[in-house]
Amino acid sequence: MSNNINYRRRRSNGKNKKKKIILFSSIVLAVVVAGMLSAKYIHSKNINADASEFNNKGVATENKVEAVPVEEPKEKPKLENSGYLTAKEDSNADSAEFVEKYLYQQSLGQMPEGANGHKVAYLTFDDGPSETVTPEVLSVLKEKGVKATFFVLGKSINESDKTKELLKETVKDGHAIASHTYSHDYHYLYPHRTVSIENFMSDIEKNNETFRQVLGKDFVTKTIRFPGGLMSWKGKDAIKEKLQEGGYHYIEWNSLSKDAEGKAKVASELLEEVKKSVSGREKAVILMHDAAGKQETAKALPQVIDYLREQGYEFRSIK
């Protein structure tokens, strides 16, 4: 009897001990699982936060690629200048700086830096535009596929609405526009045969303003020609320095048709003058005029162009 009682007690104690072990093990397991779940939640939250941060910076995620915002390049403002191209933009033009230096070195008897064996003819027209001659000159140039340089007078531009339109047409056709002063008044520009810096620069600016009124507020030309040529006047050094300060370049000539010299000439005579003056010239800057009364110049122009081409010249403008 006593043995049975002791056996039941031991058995009961064993069961209780086993329950305690199971209970303790369950608690430990629950704590471990809870810890693991908590760690996983924190890790997942961190990953999502990091992903959000990277997404904001445009980095690819597993399911989506977000492009990095790229600032669109700003368009170059369109200039109000009737579409006039600079020397760098114009494949048919050489810079006025180059031509100015070439002519200056040549006038000193030096070998110009630009001498390279390539023959170039620069057709230049002074004193226009005119209603009678400029249209004929533009027509010939277009037909022959030649670009030229027009040294324009402000007073000629302001002759009429037609002359203003001719200036625009000259630009549209791809020719170079240069300044020949506003007035072409020798007495005002060169008192006592000496260049007046004040008067000359004032006349140039007045011409610039005339250009802007017709071609647009952004039109600029820094290419000029002195009426009569700078070589004809005193005070050269002072005006050269002033022009250099303003970024201007003056263009003389080394060939001409003599359509403004001596007696009036017919087209055939003008052609002969061009032939004589370009002889031996690698770079020929040819002086002609498109002012009223120069119809013979327009008539001679097709033959002048044909002759120069036969001699191997390329035609370019000066800007």
What is the 3-class SS of 241-283, one letter each residue? Answer: HHHHHCCCEECCCCEECCCCCCCCCCHHHHHHHHHHHHCCCCE
Instruction: Tell me which of 15-29, 68-82, 108-122, 245-259 is least confident.
Output: 15-29
pLDDT grade, residue 68 (50/70/90)?
low
Measured between alpha carbons, how far is 58 from 69 in angstroms, rounded to an integer? Answer: 8
What percent of the chain stands above pLDDT 90?
76
Instruction: Provide mean pLDDT across the span 120-129.
Output: 98
Tell me the C-alpha distance between 285 and 287, whole Å.
7
In the predicted model, is pLDDT for residue 157 greater than 80? yes
Residue 238 has pLDDT above 90, yes or no: yes
Query: Mean pLDDT over all residues of the chain?
Result: 86
pTM of the model: 0.78
Burial class (CB in 10 A: 0-12, 13-18, 19+), 79: middle
Beta bridge partners, 124, equal 149, 287
Where are the extended beta strands (E) located within 149-202? Answer: 149-152, 176-179
Can you give the length of the chain in residues? 319
Strand ranges (E), the chain = 93-94, 120-126, 149-152, 176-179, 223-224, 249-250, 255-256, 283-289, 314-315, 317-318
Of residues 166, 169, 160, 115, the one with CA closest to residue 284:
115
Tell me the C-alpha distance between 257 and 259, whole Å.
Answer: 5
Q: Side chain identity at 21, as an amino acid letter?
A: I
What span, in angstroms and rounded, lies between the C-alpha atoms of 98 and 114? 8
CB count, 10 Å around CB of 165? 13
